[in-house]
Amino acid sequence: LIGLYGNELGLNVYVVGGFVRDLLLAINSKSNGTKSIPYDIDVVVEGDGLLFGKYVAKQLRAKYIEHPKFHTCSIFYRNGENKIIRIDIATARTEYYEEAGELPKVELSTIKKDLYRRDFSINAMAIKLNSGSFGILMDFFNCKKDLEEGRIRILYPLSFIEDPTRILRAIRFEQRFGFEIEPNTLTKLEEAVEKGYLEKVTGMRIREELEKILEEPEPMKAVKRMGKLKIIFHLFEKTYYSPTLEKDLEKLFDVKNYFKNNLPNYLNKVRVFHLVLDVLLQYTPEESLKKISERYGLPKDFIKNLKQVKNVYSEISKDLNNKEKILNLSYYYEKTNGFQNEQLIFLAVKLPEELLEKYYEYLRKIEKLKLSITGKDLLKKGYEGAQIKAKLEEIKKKLLNGEIQPGEEKNLI
């Protein structure tokens, strides 16, 4: 339909970028089309994209949103399967070529120019949508071959300099598809990292890219690659990616998986980005932490919470020989009372393997723990103020340790 509307307005219309890439991957994949085709579609128009967008939205009776600053618009359309399809429409960069005094201006193939400006060859193909030439693949730069052979390749030398977030995108696509960044691209990427181009990007844009990496099925692969390529160091000052950090990060993903399967409530309101930064920044000096926290918009208590877990962890390390103490569930209550979920998960990463089962047992138990008496009952019995709190805590610990059974609380007051 979009192509038909293009014809009606006399404009060339193409679907471009990730949609084309994923379509070709799905066609080529042995899974026989089980790979789902995305519902976000990028369309490029040779001509006025906004005018075209308005026209399409009207014809489809779809929601239309304009982003005048970027000269793009979005259409939200509900398809037959009741799924919302988002169509982003952009105007192809129109380049005029001055021919020495002859014809005033000659328009170059604008779709070609548009594609050339894109990040990687695998994302730089277009499919024409106009009726009459519907379905023609526009592949000006050997892109399809790169896609088939698993190569991430930039199209022009300044690609990473012009948009350093592409450094992170290269890693994300490489790991997602099991592709390889080709040697020249890798050299350019390393140069851009080395020369500090990542530092020039706003924290928010970097954060968005990092969060996308963390949403991938196997983020650890990308994290390792970023560590090796010194990207981590350039994103987080005075943060040195070491084998110890790598082990902790690996453990974090295992631990997170455990929580997901066994203690899912503890993942409420937890952001993977914050968890990863807890681990990654645990040895980063305080001065740098402040700058990092500001740059990436971390919660105001991030540094304080991180320190708290580190302190608790070092206290626990000192108690390791005191088996009697550390095998009581109440011990973990004392150490972590008041912790946020994120802190509880980070502590699981730091705890030695032999304590982990106990700790998980504690988390399971405290989650369900409900006293059969309240402060009011204590008040009636003559307890007051701080005494009430202390007594309730005492009862809670006894329940955790199995010294009393649920229902026996009243015998203690």
Report the b/e string of 26-52 with b at 16+ CB within 10 A. Answer: beeeeeeeeeeeeeebbbbbbbebbeb
* Beta strands 96-97; 63-67: pairing state: unpaired
d(CA 383, CA 33): 69
Question: Nearer Cβ to ligand CTP, position 207 or 396?
Answer: 207
User: Rounded to the nearest whole angstrom, what is the least distance from the CB of residue 42 to ligand CTP in the complex?
Assistant: 5
6 near ligand CTP, judged by CB under 6 A: no
**Closest of 227, 228, 158 to residue 197, by C-alpha:** 158
User: Rounded to the nearest whole angstrom, what is the least distance from the CB of residue 15 to ligand CTP in the complex?
Assistant: 11
Q: How many residues bind ligand CTP (CB under 6 A)?
A: 10
Structural contact between residues 377 and 410, judged by C-beta atoms closer than 8 angstroms:
yes
Question: Nearer Cβ to ligand CTP, position 123 or 343?
Answer: 123
In the shown chain, the binding pattern of residues 74 to 113 toward ligand CTP, with x for contact by CB under 6 A and - for none, equals ----------------------------------------
Show the tokens assigned to 234: 């350039």
| Segment lying near ligand CTP (by CB under 6 A), choices 69-77, 100-108, 118-126, 259-267 | 118-126
119 near ligand CTP, judged by CB under 6 A: yes
Question: Nearer Cβ to ligand CTP, position 147 or 306?
Answer: 147
Tokens 């489809």, located at residue: 60
Name, in order, each residue with C-beta under 8 angstroms of 103's C-beta and a sequence gap of 6 or more.
Answer: none
In the shown chain, the binding pattern of residues 308 to 347 toward ligand CTP, with x for contact by CB under 6 A and - for none, equals ----------------------------------------
Segment 149 to 168, residues that bind ligand CTP, using CB under 6 A: 163, 165-166
Candidate residues 17, 49, 53, 164; the one interacting with ligand CTP per rule CB under 6 A: 17
Structural contact between residues 108 and 97, judged by C-beta atoms closer than 8 angstroms:
yes
Candidate residues 12, 72, 123, 185; the one interacting with ligand CTP per rule CB under 6 A: 123
Provide the 3-class DSSP secondary structure of residue 152: strand
Show the tokens assigned to 267: 């993942």
**Number of residues written out for the chain:** 413
185 near ligand CTP, judged by CB under 6 A: no
Question: Nearer Cβ to ligand CTP, position 201 or 220?
Answer: 201
Question: Nearer Cβ to ligand CTP, position 90 or 399?
Answer: 90
DSSP-assigned letter for residue 233: H
| Segment lying near ligand CTP (by CB under 6 A), choices 25-33, 67-75, 116-124, 298-306 | 116-124
The type of residue at 112 is: K
Segment 36 to 55, residues that bind ligand CTP, using CB under 6 A: 42
| Segment lying near ligand CTP (by CB under 6 A), choices 117-125, 228-236, 247-255, 289-297 | 117-125
Q: Which residues pair with 75 in a beta bridge?
A: 64, 87
Structural contact between residues 166 and 154, judged by C-beta atoms closer than 8 angstroms:
yes
User: Rounded to the nearest whole angstrom, what is the least distance from the CB of residue 106 to ligand CTP in the complex?
Assistant: 26
Query: To which H or E segment does residue 350 belong?
Result: helix 341-350
Name, in order, each residue with C-beta under 8 angstroms of 233's C-beta and a sequence gap of 6 or more.
Answer: 239, 240, 241
Query: To which H or E segment does residue 91 belong?
Result: strand 84-91
User: Rounded to the nearest whole angstrom, what is the least distance from the CB of residue 123 to ligand CTP in the complex?
Assistant: 3
User: Rounded to the nearest whole angstrom, what is the least distance from the CB of residue 129 to ligand CTP in the complex?
Assistant: 16
Structural contact between residues 219 and 213, judged by C-beta atoms closer than 8 angstroms:
yes
d(CA 345, CA 267): 8
User: Rounded to the nearest whole angstrom, what is the least distance from the CB of residue 222 to ligand CTP in the complex?
Assistant: 13
User: Rounded to the nearest whole angstrom, what is the least distance from the CB of residue 186 to ligand CTP in the complex?
Assistant: 18
Question: Nearer Cβ to ligand CTP, position 126 or 329?
Answer: 126
Show the tokens assigned to 326: 């550390």
> CA 280 → CA 175, 220, 236, 247, 271, distances in Å?
20, 12, 9, 11, 14
Q: How many CB atoms lie within 10 A of CB 299?
A: 13
18 near ligand CTP, judged by CB under 6 A: yes
User: Rounded to the nearest whole angstrom, what is the least distance from the CB of residue 297 to ligand CTP in the complex?
Assistant: 20
207 near ligand CTP, judged by CB under 6 A: no
User: Rounded to the nearest whole angstrom, what is the least distance from the CB of residue 400 to ligand CTP in the complex?
Assistant: 45
Structural contact between residues 391 and 383, judged by C-beta atoms closer than 8 angstroms:
yes
Question: Nearer Cβ to ligand CTP, position 169 or 225?
Answer: 169
In the complex, the residues that contact ligand CTP under the rule CB under 6 A are 17-18, 42, 118-119, 123, 163, 165-166, 169
